[in-house]
Amino acid sequence: MITSYSEAVQHWKGKPYYSLNVRLLEKFGIKLRKVALNGGFTCPNRDGTLGTKGCIFCSEGGSGDFAADTLPPPQEDTAFIAYFQSFTNTYGSVRELERCYMNVLNHPNVAALSIGTRPDCLPDDIIGLLERLNRIKPIWIELGLQTMHESTARFIRRGYALNVFTEALQKLQQAGIETIVHTILGLPGESVDDILETHRFLAQQPIQGIKLQLLHILKGTDLDELYKTDPFHVLSLEEYTDLIIRCIELLPPDMVIHRITGDGPKQLLTAPLWSGYKKQVLNRIHHEFKVRNTWQGRLYTP
């Protein structure tokens, strides 16, 4: 049991939380980078099934503004995680998805495949496909929950209820698929207590990893239009630092922290502008962990 910041830093090799880098070293024995990909998929929030505009914060790139269309050529002594990031990457037929995924898994430098998707786009036949492919190379599923609160989910046009998430999560765990959940801190209308409640909820769910991200307002999104016409509060660096630490304190110590911030393309960023300086943001958060003598799981209750 970890009882101090210094013990946490020693345990997690330099950070007071269980970072993705530490997890990758444990699993693969080497440090791996992620290569973000655009698989050419769409989303039920864009093709008319649920809507045509996407989630209120989603850019034209489908949250994959840095994603490439192709994998890098094979290289000796190089390995990476391929990450289907743009839009909804299980939104297709089993045949189409299997062809797409196998093209990536057959690349000699791909060590694992991470797939960004929605819990309402994981029918049983696709989960069966993921279970089969997981025997070839590790398959990770990344689910964009963002919040547990139904009123906020309606506001951001998420398009599914919380029970859809928990049911999909149960099926993924039964199939042995490692699952990572995305949350957004600072969604309009959410209080500090609301944000902490989402992370208390996730601390009790059978998930293996989490990505915590600041709300970005990107040009061209409906959120950007709302911010211009009816400005809402955007978190300051001080507020975000406090929140991210309080959320991580609540999470179990064996849950991998894949991300504690995020940076949208600077040319698209409306607010908050401080988020464009990722290194300084991370330094500030890590320094505050030390000042507070705290670490991941300090307030976790099983």
**How much is the pLDDT for 61?**
53
Q: What order do you get walking across the sheet with 139-146 strand by strand?
A: 33-37, 80-84, 110-117, 139-146, 178-185, 209-214, 256-259
Q: How far is 218 from 224, CA to CA, in rounded Å?
A: 6
* Domains of the chain, first to last: 5-292 (3.80.30.30)
Q: Which of 157, 153, 145, 150 is closest to 119 using CA atoms?
A: 145
Strands 178-185 and 139-146: parallel
Q: Is the pLDDT of residue 232 over 50?
A: yes
Beta bridge partners of 34: 81
Confidence of residue 64 (pLDDT cuts 50, 70, 90): very low
- Whether the CB-CB separation of 13 and 286 falls below 8 Å is answered with no
Whole-angstrom Cα Rg for the chain: 19
3-class DSSP string for 75-120: CCCCCEEEEECCCCCCCCCHHHHHHHHHHHHCCCCEEEEEEEECHH
Structure-token match 């991300």, residue found = 259
**Token reading at 239:** 């507020």
* 156-170 per-position pLDDT tens digit: 999 999 999 999 999
Give the SS3 label for residue 162: helix
Lowest mean pLDDT among 48-52, 113-117, 133-137, 206-210: 48-52
Q: How far is 195 from 185, CA to CA, in rounded Å?
A: 7
Query: Residue 136 gets which letter from DSSP?
Result: T
**Token reading at 159:** 């398009």
Q: Is the pLDDT of residue 233 over 80?
A: yes
* 123-174 per-position pLDDT tens digit: 999 999 999 999 999 999 999 999 999 999 999 999 999 999 999 999 999 9
Q: What does the pLDDT average to over 293-301? A: 98
Structural element, H or E, at residue 170: helix 162-174
